[in-house]
Structure 1
Amino acid sequence: MKNTLPTSRMQDRAASVLPLTAFTIATLEARLFLEENVPPLPPGTMKTPAMVAGFLRDTVIRPTLKYLDMLGMSADHELVVRHAPWIANDPKAPDCPENDRLLFERPAGILVGCLLFRYLCAMTGQSNNARRSYRNAAAGMHLIVDVDVAAPSIQIFLPESVAMAIGHAVATHYHLGKSIP
């Protein structure tokens, strides 16, 4: 049987994709505003737990479960919501686990961060190369999603194999404004 794991060069290309740079995020935020008239989410917009939970459910959790199902991840993802007026004991920002990667070089605006993550999930789920090469590579693992309601911003901590699957899909098909060797 043929080995379907990515070659070293392919792995290096996939690894170079994440974390997405602040420049990439700023470019996408500007394009959303200039081309689609979607401004960055101002502080105070996410006022209720239902609003935050619904937004995260629809733009982070559902796409993960739908498009990244081939990775075999646990459905119990960790959500850390900080600086929210409805939370009495404000949690501290999570540390990046040893075998995880950051999705963003620094936290992204919540709107563009969530939309970009949803897009990356869809792209990865539709990539035959990523589906074939990373099937069940993240069995039992989960995402850590850190949301700062006051900013509002988001950071997503990805298990290494999830980051590599996303990187593989991006490096194989798209560049997202980043030079990939």
Structure 2
Amino acid sequence: MPTARTESTTSKKAAASSATVPQANGPAAESFLAPGAILAERYRDTAYEAVVGKNGENVSAAMSAGEAMLAGMAEVSQEMLSFAGNRLRDDMETAEDFSKASSPQELFEKQCGFARRAAQQYAEETSKMIGLMARIQQSCWAPMEACAKTALQNLNDAEGETGNAAKK
């Protein structure tokens, strides 16, 4: 079966860098690109400032919320792995215990006990995960809430100043 031929990352990087760097060496190439590069840099900085400048606090709040979510999801993942490991260990011990049953009645009682304990553990873990998710949700919304409160306070302050200026 034929396979697709791909370029290596190194050759792609080399091609990209050769496309952006002028082939001619000397002052003519530098003087030709310098004004354009300066203009592009100024435009980039101006555009960035126009987009993010006034919203910098919002962007920071969104970044903080994202960090809180990622940290929370790591905690959820760790908890789930821990629970699954403990359950697997319990299941293996119980299977060994089942093999030692001397009668069908004893096996049935052991199975009922196992099912009861498992249901209890799953219910406790579910409750724990709900609490963990609620805490994560609160930590994710906290930066956005603080940013919204600040914006509303600024609007109220600006409205108050406008109203006071109109009365004078």
| TM-score interval for Structure 1 and Structure 2 normalised by the shorter chain | under 0.3
Which structure features the higher share of strand residues? 1
TM-score (norm 2): 0.23
Which structure features the higher share of helix residues? 2
Structure with bigger gyration radius:
2
